Amino acid sequence: MTIKVIGAGFGRTGTLSLKVALEELGFDKCYHMQEVFAHPAHAQVWHAASQGKAVDWDKLLQGYAATVDWPGCYFYKELLAKYPDAKVLLSVRDPEQWYASALGTIFQAGQGFPINLIARFVPPIRRFIAMIDSIIWQGTFHSNFADKAYAIAIFNQHIAEVKRVVPSEQLLVYEVKQGWAPLCHFLDVPVPADKPFPRLNDSAQFQQAFRKRIAYGLLALAATIVAAVFTICQVAARYAQPISGPTTNDH
C-alpha cells in the first residue's frame, strides 16, 4: 500500500470528518492525529522528523492510504516528494472560525494543569506533548498562536504556499461543508449512495474526548505514583532489616 491522498490542511478544518469520509471512499486507513494516540511510539518519529532527522515514511505510514490533519500536514512537501503520484487535499475554513475553534480546543487543551503535571510523570503523554509543541506551536506558529492576527496570517500563508507548491491538477482546495460531490470527483470515485457526509469532532465532541484522555492520564499518573511508593517501601523495608551473619565470641 502507498499513500494516495495527502492532507495538507491544518487541524480544525474538518479533518476528522475527512478521515472518515476518505475511508468510506476506499482510502483506508487514513492517518490522522488520532493515530498517534493509538500508536504512541509514532510521536517520537514525528518529533524527530520536525527536528530534521530522516524518516522512513513507508515504515511509519505502513498500512495507510491517506493522511489528513497534523502531524502529516506539516510534512506535505516531504510526503509529496516521497509519493509524487498522490493527490493533495487542502481542507480550508473561514479563518476567523478556524481560529476560534483551534483556540478553544487544541490550544487550550495543551495548556496548564493538569496536562503539564501528567506529561511530567507519564512518558507517552510527555512525548506526545513534545511532538505537538515542536510541530504545531513552535514549528508552525513560532510560539505565537495566542496572537490571533499572527495565527490567522500563518493559516492564510500556508494555504497560499500549498497552492503555489502543488500542481493544480493534483490539488483540491476543499471545505467539508461542500460534501461528497467535489471530493469524489477529485478522487475519481462514485458518490456513496444514501450516506450523509460525516460530521465529526466539533468543539463539544473534542472537549468530551479530551476529558476522557485527561482521565486516562490521571489514572496512569496515579498508577505511576503507587508503583513508586511501593518500590520505596520495599527498599526501605529491606534496609530496615537487621543484618545477619556469623558472630564471634571474644573470651
pLDDT of residue 108: 78
d(CA 89, CA 6): 6
For the cut 80, the answer to whether the pLDDT of residue 58 exceeds it is: yes
For the cut 90, the answer to whether the pLDDT of residue 222 exceeds it is: no
Specify the 3-state DSSP secondary structure of 26: coil
Class of residue 134 by CB neighbours under 10 A (exposed 0-12, middle 13-18, buried 19+): buried
Identify residue 210 by its one-letter amino acid code: F
Specify the 3-state DSSP secondary structure of 69: coil
Q: Which domains does the chain have, with CATH numbers?
A: 5-239 (3.40.50.300)
Backbone angles phi, psi at 97, to 5 degrees: -65, -40
pLDDT one-digit tens code per residue, 92-105: 999 999 999 999 88
Under a CB-based contact definition with an 8 Å cutoff, are residues 99 and 38 in contact?
Answer: no
